[in-house]
Amino acid sequence: MLKTIEWKNNQLVMVDQRKLPHQLELIVCRDYQDVVNAIKVMAVRGAPAIGTAAAFGMALAALNINAENISDYIKELEKVKNELASTRPTAVNLFWALEKVWEVVKNIGGSKIELQRNILAKAEQIAEQDIKTNLLIGENGVKLFDNGDVILTHCNAGSLATVYYGTALGVIRSVFKRKENIRVVANETRPVLQGARITAWELKYDRIPVTLICDSTAGFLMAQGKISKVIVGADRIAANGDVANKIGTYSLSVLAKEHKIPFYVAAPCSTIDFSIKSKKDIPIEERNPSEVTTIMGKSIAPAGIDVYNPAFDLTPNSNITALITEEGIVKPPFFANLKKIKKNILK
């Protein structure tokens, strides 16, 4: 797999995920506005990838802002931070990464040149850390899986949703290396089809056996005993372990519970929002109705039809068997066990 996000010659180069699976094209961001746009139109998507892209967006702004003095320069940087933060509301990694960059501005400070250097160094550190974190999540997840498992996943929590390797697909990659006869079942993931376009493409590229299904097929397969485990990523995890993830995740969790199938969520600790007690405080993004009324730009519904298009839904902790993080596997009771993780992160 290639890297989803790379800093090259003072530009941010990313895989344009709108073009997959038909074309593997790169998008070049020369200014932070290019990054704002890339996140909004989902050329880059997936919680850790959005966060990393935003951090590099700050590095681009730091290079390009012209200001009379350092205080105006920092004011401009703050405006950019707010603009990047307004691109998508649900994935907390976006705000986490912007805060990490902002700590550099607030706590280290310095001249314009020093700020440029330090902001870029922070963005690069976030990107490198993301890869290490995903590899650890993968390793930690292996023990939960067995030879012969048929693993259902939803949306894309893969290499393309991160800098490299992925979270849920990272676990699948690590399991595939260690266990025999593993097969993945990928939900297509309407409306934007990240499962069909991106997950199926990534797994095929890595020669991991994968079967693509319509979202509505999952329950039928579970009822026949054909799914042994479910694993998904997360956009935000509340302090009590409730999870926001791609629309359709909640339905899968209910189905998995009904059929007594383990339901795992793989995510870095940067996805845990300790300031939010439970799912009721997680904002859910609503996206353009055209995502529902069209498929790959082709209309499939009557013009002017009323549409509801939430991009994410909320899975209660009671439907989750375990969270897989770089700090280890977190099992219920989630509130108490996530508190221990928080202590480890703050050490």
Site for ligand MRU, rule CB under 6 A: 45-48, 91, 155, 157, 161-162, 167, 194, 232-235, 245-246, 311
CB of 77 to ligand MRU, least distance (A): 25
Comparison of 47 and 323: residue with beta carbon closer to ligand MRU? 47
The burial of 213, by beta-carbon neighbours within 10 Å (0-12 exposed, 13-18 middle, 19 or more buried), is given as middle
Name the closest residue to ligand MRU (Cβ): 233
CB of 335 to ligand MRU, least distance (A): 22
Q: How many CB atoms lie within 10 A of CB 196?
A: 21
Record the tokens describing residue 213, joined without a space: 């299904």
With respect to ligand MRU, which residue has the nearer C-beta, 104 or 184?
184
The CA-CA-CA angle for residues 14, 20, 23, to 5°, reads 85
Between 85 and 108, name the residue whose CB sits nearer to ligand MRU. Answer: 85
Residue 344 CA to residue 238 CA, distance in Å, equals 17
CB atoms within 10 A of CB 100: 18
Nearer to ligand MRU, 48 or 115 (CB): 48
Q: Is 235 a catalytic residue?
A: yes
Q: Residue 19: count other Cβ atoms within 10 Å of its Cβ.
A: 14
Say which of 34, 130, 149, 235 is annotated catalytic. 235
Please calculate the CA angle 194-195-198 and round it to the nearest 5 degrees: 65
Minimum CB separation of residue 282 from ligand MRU in Å reads 12
What are the C-alpha distances in Å from 331 to residues 190, 237, 281, 303?
30, 14, 22, 47
Q: Which residues pair with 89 in a beta bridge?
A: none
Known catalytic residues are 235
